[in-house]
Amino acid sequence: METVHDIPARAPWSGIIRKGQTLRIEDTYGQQAIDTLFYNAIDHAERYSSQDTLRAQGAAYVTTGTAIMSNLGRVMLRVTADSAGRHDTSAGCCSCESNTVRFGHDTRFQHACRENFIVELARHGMTKRDIVPNLNFFMNVPISPNGAMTVDDGISSPGDHLELVAEMDVLCVISNCPQINNPCNGFDPTPCRVIIRG
């Protein structure tokens, strides 16, 4: 069985991926950051942990082979394919509030990933307090040995994809990033596609 979900530019989405199913995320146009959160589908207090994921992997980026870990130290999904190379989980999602600090107070009233997450999480009975540091699929955030960190131009091409196999029933929540102040999506938000198989 296969379900296809097209997510418009700047929009949120959520869906359940059952244990054993494959989640395929496609960067349809290329250079689009896809901000993603995972929750245990039956216990939302168990959720994605960037710190556990990075530590378990021993490296600062997500790619094929990465175990997506929960805050309880359990594997939620495993990345089984990745045509882009690496993905960020250190820089979090954009928000109206962080935009003011980063890009000036005149950017406060721009739609942001955290707005998407709040609206989508509310559909599942969750609130702002349930937003944790997220995955940014296809987002290019190199961290230098001297600590320097910057959001660089995306390295994904049209049609780049990654696949994750669920090891528990998970709720996936996506914000198809609307940010237009940094190059995470080429300053030009585009649609993306999610396919659930199995």
Partner 1 sequence: MHIHRTPDQIAADRQRYLDFQRAGMEAKTLPQPSPRPAPEASNARLTETVPGGWYTTLHLKAGELLRLVPGGASTVSLAAWALPDTTERLCLPDTVKLQWTTDLTKGRVIFSDMGRVMLSLVEDSSGAHDVLTGGSTPETVADYTGDARRNTRDNMLLAAAKLGLDRRDIPAVLNLFAPVRVDAEGRFTWRPAMLAAGDWVDLRAEMDLCLALSNCRHPLDPDASEVPPDLSVICLPARPIAADDLCRTATAEARRGFENNARLQGAF
Footprint of partner 1 on this chain (CB under 8 A)?
6, 8-10, 29, 44-45, 47, 49-52, 54-55, 58-61, 71, 73, 86, 90-93, 95-105, 114, 127-133, 143-151, 180-183, 186-191
Q: Specify whether the CB–CB gap between 169 and 17 falls below 8 A.
A: yes
CB of 175 to partner 1, least distance (A): 14
CB of 34 to partner 1, least distance (A): 15
Burial class (CB in 10 A: 0-12, 13-18, 19+), 105: exposed
Closer residue to partner 1 in complex, CB, 36/49: 49
Closer residue to partner 1 in complex, CB, 21/25: 25
Rounded distance, CA 139 to CA 20, Å?
Answer: 26
Rounded distance, CA 50 to CA 100, Å?
Answer: 24
CB of 2 to partner 1, least distance (A): 21
Distance set, CA 101 to CA 97, 112, 148, 189 (Å): 7, 14, 18, 21
Rounded distance, CA 182 to CA 134, Å?
Answer: 18
Closer residue to partner 1 in complex, CB, 21/66: 66
CB of 99 to partner 1, least distance (A): 8
Closer residue to partner 1 in complex, CB, 21/154: 154
